[in-house]
Amino acid sequence: MLDRISFILGEAFEAIRRNLTMTYAAIATVALTLFLFGGVGYSYFHLNKLSESLTGKFEMRAYMVDGAKIPQVQATAKAIREIPGVAVVNWIPKDRAWEREKAKYKPEVTDGIENPLPEAFKIILSDLKKADSVAASVRALPNLDPERGVEYLRDEQRLLEQTRSFLNWLATGLGGLLLLTSGILIYNAIRLAVFSRRREARVMMLVGASRFSVRVPYLIEGFIYGTVGGILATGMLYAAQRAIESRLLDQTAFAGLPPFPILPGLALLSIVGAVYGLVCSYIAILVPMKP
């Protein structure tokens, strides 16, 4: 058995040795692709966590028309609760709000002024993406102040969403292109290996070597390209994370990035690379390896 393994591994490494330029190109592209995917995935994961934690902090204020009565307040609160994307609705009675405002100033500033505040609601969203639609639905309710209506941090929410969609675009657009390029490079590297070892393959088929013995060295080659690419990508991600963190720490009072999960990252990227390498090499040997 060991004898068999050593023969098949020997064949795989011989194929790699004969094809060094393509080997470097294939490994470098896989590494770059996985670096990009890993980097985007890592950023996306943390941005998602950040936006989840911020969702609770993003709240809307809705203001009713002056003179709104308690039954109108109750009906409006009920209607807001039923809007998709709304997690919590708190009524802020105008009297309590005015007391809080007055406490911020010297008594002589507010003495004699009639409470100018309307009945209001604090709305906490369950899904930040729905902020605009929630605002529109709330605004459409009767008894809401037509001028002040709804107030929320639209710009901050939009920035977060734009960053997320940019990362999505980066992953699908540029990442897809790199994925395709690395796939073609692995395919080409394997096809070149098949071509450069066509005499050996022919001899193997002539003397009755099994399909396994003929094909597996090329699959191992693709597996090696993908795995090495995955390992390099993990190293590059780790280095990039450290470099960005130290730059941010130097220039700002930044608290630091979340630590890069090196072992899970290594495992994930190596497995993804290995599977991708295997698939590409399998496709590459389908046609030229017919017995």
Partner 1 sequence: MTDRPYVEFRDVHVSYPGQVQGLDGVTLQIGRGEFVFIVGRTGAGKSTLIKVLTREVRHTSGEVRIDGQEVGDYNDRTVFRLRRQMGIVPQDFALLPNKRVWENVAYAMRAVGHTKREVRREVPAILEQVQIAHRADALPHQLSGGEQQRVAIGRALINKPPLLIADEPTGNLDPDHSAEVMDLLVKLNLEGMTILIASHDMPVVERYGRRVIRLDHGKIVEDSLARPD
The contact set with partner 1 (CB under 8 A) reads 3-4, 7, 199-200, 202-211, 213-214, 290-291
Q: Shortest distance, CB of residue 220 to partner 1, whole angstroms?
A: 15
Largest distance between two CA atoms of the chain? 107
Q: Shortest distance, CB of residue 32 to partner 1, whole angstroms?
A: 34
Residue with tokens 């309307």: 118
Report the residue number, 4 or 69, with the smaller CB distance to partner 1.
4
Are the C-beta atoms of 22 and 189 separated by less than 8 Å?
yes
Report the residue number, 202 or 242, with the smaller CB distance to partner 1.
202
Q: Shortest distance, CB of residue 281 to partner 1, whole angstroms?
A: 18
Report the residue number, 7 or 169, with the smaller CB distance to partner 1.
7
CA distance 159 to 131: 13
CA distance 178 to 170: 11
Q: What are phi and psi of 150, to 5 degrees?
A: -125, 135
CA distance 237 to 111: 61
Q: Strand ranges (DSSP E) for 107-257? A: 120-125, 150-151
Report the residue number, 72 or 213, with the smaller CB distance to partner 1.
213
Q: Shortest distance, CB of residue 45 to partner 1, whole angstroms?
A: 43
Report the residue number, 57 or 290, with the smaller CB distance to partner 1.
290
Q: What is the CA radius of gyration of the chain?
A: 31
Q: Shortest distance, CB of residue 189 to partner 1, whole angstroms?
A: 21
